[in-house]
Amino acid sequence: MQFDSLIFLWLAIAAYFQLRKIRKDHVNEAIKRIEVEKQLEVQKIHAKVINEITELLQDSVNNPLAVISLGTKEIRKKFEADPEIIAWLDRIESAMKKIHNTIRDIQLYETQKLLEETNPHFQETKK
């Protein structure tokens, strides 16, 4: 009878330690999940700010660029025979394209940066 009690006691202790390990793993997983959720919230805010900034830049810069573009087209039509004026208009249009591309690149860079920051956190949760 004592032997059966000893086996039962060992099984109870083993079950207790297994349950303790499972609880510890569950708590660690919950902590990781909370950390990832916090990081994602920060990144959402970061993305929102970046989008607002780039939209502001686009509105503040692209609208005047559109006016300049229309003006250069009109000037080009009126002075198409003058190579010096056409050369200046080409420089202006080239500069406008650079400004437009810079704004686009800022938005793409920030989006890519955000994705790179997010990826390691998702890799950790998959482990």
pLDDT of residue 19: 96
Encode pLDDT of 56-85 as tens digits: 877 888 888 889 999 999 999 999 999 999
Q: Indicate the range of 1-10, 26-35, 63-72, 79-88 predicted with least confidence.
A: 1-10
Percentage of the chain exceeding pLDDT 90: 47
d(CA 30, CA 40): 15
Residue 15 has a pLDDT of 94
pLDDT at residue 92 in the model: 95
pTM for the full predicted model: 0.52
**103 located within any domain:** yes
Task: Look at residue 52 and tell me if it is in a domain.
Answer: yes
What is the rounded (10 degree) CA torsion for 44, 50, 56, 57? -160
Q: Of how many residues is the chain composed?
A: 127
> Is the pLDDT reported for residue 5 higher than 90?
no
Q: Which domain holds residue 61?
A: 32-126
Q: Hunting for tokens 């509105």 — which residue is that?
A: 59
In a domain, 106, yes or no: yes
Q: Please state, in angstroms and rounded to a whole number, the distance separating the CA atoms of residues 69 and 64.
A: 8
Considering the domain boundaries, does residue 6 fall inside one? no
Instruction: Determine, yes or no, domain membership for 97.
Output: yes
Count of domains for the chain: 1
pLDDT digits (tens, 9 = 90+) for 103-123: 888 878 777 776 777 666 555
| Residue 19, in any domain of the structure | no
Q: Judge whether 26 lies within some domain.
A: no
In a domain, 20, yes or no: no
